[in-house]
Amino acid sequence: MTRMLVSVRSVDEALVAASGGADFIDLKEPSDGALGGLPVATIGAIVGALRAHGSGLPVSATIGDLPMHALDRIRAQVDAVGACGVDYVKVGIERGPEAFAVLDSLAACDWPVVPVFIADNGLDAALIAHACALDFPGIMVDTADKLAGSLFDAVPMADLRAFVAKVRASGRMAGAAGALRVAHVPLLQALAPDFAGFRSAVCVADRKTALCPERLAALAALLHGEAVVEPAAA
């Protein structure tokens, strides 16, 4: 079963997601790019609130959209986010020769990092193979331009299947995200990643608006194989 990762940006949203069927809570600022980062103080407050309410769900947080040549900034932000008590630190990985050194550095840091391959221009098989040979708990694929279509528009299904198979064969969790909606659930079920990330599909309108508890519950039920009446199409 594909588990549901829900991206949130506040304590209130995190508590809604935790009680609404999310399997992972992901902390990011959706109005600040694909992997927009929240202030460190906000990340710490959300983690604290979830734990105070008895939630044991795994929590991930992004570091923000940083270029591959800014390795020192990447490492500093990973340290700051990791120190907030999250279970996973998500770092966007762009195609290019500098990405190999970034992956090496991230694998050697003190925090559980999940590389997120940005796939708008396709997936680099050599880069993914390199990541699979390093010590990461999970590896994701995502898109940067959420208005250009979904992950399934950006990357052929055959390439996505190869990605999931490669990551899973390495013993890591395989994740998928990228403007995913309710209509993509059958494709996700066919792809069967370990987890799939959502924001727009569980909001009242676009990804910058508030979470919708009804849409959240309906999507969770679909992914978890429960029969429900869906709300208006996302």
DSSP one-letter string for 27-54: E--GGG-TTPPPPHHHHHHHHHHHHHTT
pLDDT tens digits for range 53-74: 999 999 999 999 999 999 999 9
109 exposure class (CB count in 10 Å sphere: 0-12, 13-18, 19+) = middle
Least confident segment among 11-20, 89-98, 118-127, 202-211 = 202-211
pLDDT at residue 234 in the model: 39
Residue 147 has pLDDT above 90, yes or no: no
The beta strands (E) that lie in 64-213 are given as 88-93, 113-118, 138-142, 173-176, 195-198
- Quote the pLDDT of residue 232: 45
pLDDT at residue 230, rounded to an integer: 44
- Token pair for residue 110? 């003190």
Instruction: For 72-90, write each residue's pLDDT tens digit.
Output: 999 999 999 999 999 999 9
- Cα 176 to Cα 128: distance, rounded to the nearest angstrom: 14
Is 141 within 8 Å of 179 (Cβ atoms)? no
Q: Which are the catalytic amino acids?
A: 28, 90
d(CA 124, CA 186): 25
Report all structural domains of the chain as residue ranges with CATH numbers, in order of start: 3-223 (3.20.20.380)
171 has a pLDDT exceeding 70: yes
**Are 61 and 82 in contact, with CB atoms under 8 Å apart?**
no
Average pLDDT, the chain: 94
Q: What is the pLDDT of residues 108-122, one digit of tens each?
A: 999 999 999 999 999
pLDDT recorded at residue 18? 97
| Whether residue 146 has pLDDT greater than 90 | no
Residues 94-113, mean pLDDT to the nearest whole number: 97
In this model, does residue 14 exceed pLDDT 50? yes
pLDDT of residue 34: 81
- At residue 203, the 3 state secondary structure works out as strand
Pick from 200, 224, 226: which is nearest to 212 by CA? 200
